[in-house]
Amino acid sequence: MGAGADNGNVVALGKVRRQRQPDEVKFERRELDQILRVYSFMVAGGEWRDYGISHLRDRAVFSVFRRTSEMPLYRIEKSPKLARKQGAYAVINASGMVLKRGHDLTQLLKLFDKQIRLVQSS
Protein backbone atom coordinates (compact mmCIF):
# COMPACT_ATOMS: atom_id res chain seq x y z
CA MET A 1 0.00 0.00 0.00
CA GLY A 2 1.07 3.58 -0.57
CA ALA A 3 2.34 6.02 1.99
CA GLY A 4 -0.30 7.26 4.42
CA ALA A 5 -2.72 4.36 3.86
CA ASP A 6 -4.63 3.33 6.98
CA ASN A 7 -5.12 -0.19 8.26
CA GLY A 8 -8.27 -0.86 6.22
CA ASN A 9 -10.99 -0.14 8.81
CA VAL A 10 -14.42 0.49 7.30
CA VAL A 11 -16.43 3.34 8.84
CA ALA A 12 -19.99 4.28 7.93
CA LEU A 13 -20.03 7.65 6.16
CA GLY A 14 -23.19 8.79 7.96
CA LYS A 15 -21.55 8.19 11.34
CA VAL A 16 -18.51 10.24 10.36
CA ARG A 17 -20.66 13.12 9.13
CA ARG A 18 -22.71 13.19 12.33
CA GLN A 19 -19.55 13.27 14.45
CA ARG A 20 -17.80 15.88 12.32
CA GLN A 21 -20.41 18.62 12.24
CA PRO A 22 -23.73 19.03 14.01
CA ASP A 23 -26.81 19.54 11.89
CA GLU A 24 -28.01 23.03 11.17
CA VAL A 25 -31.30 24.24 12.60
CA LYS A 26 -33.86 24.61 9.82
CA PHE A 27 -37.44 25.76 9.48
CA GLU A 28 -39.89 22.96 8.74
CA ARG A 29 -42.31 23.26 5.82
CA ARG A 30 -45.23 24.10 8.14
CA GLU A 31 -43.24 26.87 9.83
CA LEU A 32 -42.15 28.39 6.52
CA ASP A 33 -45.74 28.27 5.27
CA GLN A 34 -46.91 30.31 8.27
CA ILE A 35 -44.08 32.83 7.96
CA LEU A 36 -44.48 33.23 4.19
CA ARG A 37 -48.24 33.78 4.58
CA VAL A 38 -47.55 36.80 6.81
CA TYR A 39 -44.74 37.91 4.50
CA SER A 40 -47.01 37.84 1.42
CA PHE A 41 -49.59 40.11 3.09
CA MET A 42 -46.91 42.59 4.05
CA VAL A 43 -45.41 42.56 0.54
CA ALA A 44 -48.87 43.12 -0.96
CA GLY A 45 -49.20 46.21 1.25
CA GLY A 46 -45.80 47.54 0.20
CA GLU A 47 -44.35 47.23 3.73
CA TRP A 48 -41.79 44.51 3.07
CA ARG A 49 -39.84 43.86 -0.11
CA ASP A 50 -37.25 41.13 0.46
CA TYR A 51 -36.30 38.30 2.80
CA GLY A 52 -33.40 36.08 3.63
CA ILE A 53 -33.17 32.72 5.36
CA SER A 54 -30.15 31.58 7.37
CA HIS A 55 -29.68 28.09 8.77
CA LEU A 56 -27.08 28.15 11.51
CA ARG A 57 -25.91 25.54 14.02
CA ASP A 58 -27.87 27.03 16.93
CA ARG A 59 -30.80 28.75 15.18
CA ALA A 60 -32.69 29.37 11.95
CA VAL A 61 -33.40 32.98 10.99
CA PHE A 62 -35.98 34.46 8.61
CA SER A 63 -34.97 38.11 8.03
CA VAL A 64 -37.38 40.66 6.55
CA PHE A 65 -36.16 43.72 4.65
CA ARG A 66 -37.81 46.91 3.40
CA ARG A 67 -34.93 47.25 0.91
CA THR A 68 -32.32 44.65 0.10
CA SER A 69 -29.42 46.94 1.00
CA GLU A 70 -30.69 47.70 4.51
CA MET A 71 -30.54 45.95 7.85
CA PRO A 72 -33.50 43.61 8.40
CA LEU A 73 -36.65 45.21 9.83
CA TYR A 74 -37.49 42.01 11.69
CA ARG A 75 -35.90 38.64 12.32
CA ILE A 76 -38.04 35.62 13.07
CA GLU A 77 -35.77 33.15 14.84
CA LYS A 78 -36.10 29.50 15.79
CA SER A 79 -33.72 28.44 18.58
CA PRO A 80 -34.43 24.86 19.71
CA LYS A 81 -32.11 25.21 22.74
CA LEU A 82 -34.57 27.73 24.23
CA ALA A 83 -37.65 25.58 23.58
CA ARG A 84 -38.02 24.39 27.20
CA LYS A 85 -37.23 27.77 28.74
CA GLN A 86 -38.51 30.86 26.94
CA GLY A 87 -39.81 29.25 23.77
CA ALA A 88 -38.06 28.32 20.56
CA TYR A 89 -39.44 31.23 18.52
CA ALA A 90 -38.74 34.96 18.72
CA VAL A 91 -39.44 38.13 16.72
CA ILE A 92 -36.59 40.62 16.96
CA ASN A 93 -36.65 44.17 15.59
CA ALA A 94 -33.89 46.05 13.73
CA SER A 95 -32.30 47.32 16.94
CA GLY A 96 -32.04 43.78 18.37
CA MET A 97 -34.90 44.04 20.87
CA VAL A 98 -36.99 40.89 21.32
CA LEU A 99 -40.58 41.96 20.59
CA LYS A 100 -42.16 38.62 21.35
CA ARG A 101 -40.95 35.15 22.32
CA GLY A 102 -42.93 31.96 22.64
CA HIS A 103 -43.45 28.25 22.13
CA ASP A 104 -46.08 28.59 19.38
CA LEU A 105 -45.15 30.18 16.04
CA THR A 106 -48.81 30.90 15.17
CA GLN A 107 -49.24 32.97 18.33
CA LEU A 108 -45.93 34.70 17.78
CA LEU A 109 -46.86 35.78 14.24
CA LYS A 110 -50.03 37.43 15.55
CA LEU A 111 -47.70 40.30 16.41
CA PHE A 112 -48.09 41.32 12.75
CA ASP A 113 -51.91 40.97 12.65
CA LYS A 114 -52.54 44.68 13.25
CA GLN A 115 -50.24 45.62 10.37
CA ILE A 116 -51.87 43.00 8.11
CA ARG A 117 -55.36 44.39 8.88
CA LEU A 118 -54.12 47.86 7.91
CA VAL A 119 -52.70 46.48 4.66
CA GLN A 120 -55.95 44.65 3.85
CA SER A 121 -58.12 47.73 4.48
CA SER A 122 -56.08 49.95 2.15
The domain limits of the chain are: 23-121
What is the pLDDT confidence band of residue 1, given thresholds at 50, 70 and 90? very low
- Contact of 102 with 108, CB cutoff 8 Å: yes
Which residues are CB-contacts of 63 (< 8 A; sequence separation ≥ 6)? 51, 52, 53, 54, 72, 74, 75
- Residues 79-95: tens digit of each pLDDT: 989 888 889 999 999 99
pLDDT, position 90: 96
Q: DSSP label at 58? A: S
